[in-house]
Amino acid sequence: MFKINSIRKFNLFNIFLLILVVTVSLGGFALSQYQQYIKDVADFEFRYIESKKIAIRQEVEKVMEDVTYRKQVTARTSQSSLSSSKLYLRTISSD
C-alpha cells in the first residue's frame, strides 16, 4: 500500500513537472514569437515610411519642375506679348 501511494505521488509529481516544463516552454516560445513580431512590425513600418518619403520627394521634384516650366512659359509669353505690343505701338506711331 505504501509503495502504491509513493508511486502515485511520484507519478503526480512527474505529471506536474511535465506540465510546468511544457507551460514554461510554450511561454518562452510565445514570448520569442511576440518579440520577432514586434521587430517585423518595426521593420515594416520603417520601410513603409521610407517608401512614402521617396514618393513624396519625387512628387515635390515633379511639382518644382512643373513650376519652373510654367515660369519659363509665362516669361516667354509675356516677353512675346511685350514685343508684339512694342511693335504695334511702333506701327501706330509711324503712321
What's the average model confidence in pLDDT over 4-30?
93
Q: Which residue would you say has higher pLDDT here, 7 or 18?
A: 18
Mean pLDDT value of segment 10-14: 92
Is the pLDDT score of 21 beyond 60? yes
- The three grid cell numbers given for residue 52, joined into one nine-digit string: 512614402
Question: Given a cut of 60, is residue 95 above it in pLDDT?
Answer: no
Q: How many angstroms separate the first and last alpha carbons of the chain?
A: 139
- How much is the pTM? 0.58
Q: What is the per-residue pLDDT across 30-79, written as a single tens digit (0 to 9) for each? A: 999 999 999 999 999 999 999 999 999 999 999 999 999 999 888 888 77
- Compute the distance between CA of residue 19 and CA of residue 61 in angstroms, rounded to an integer: 62
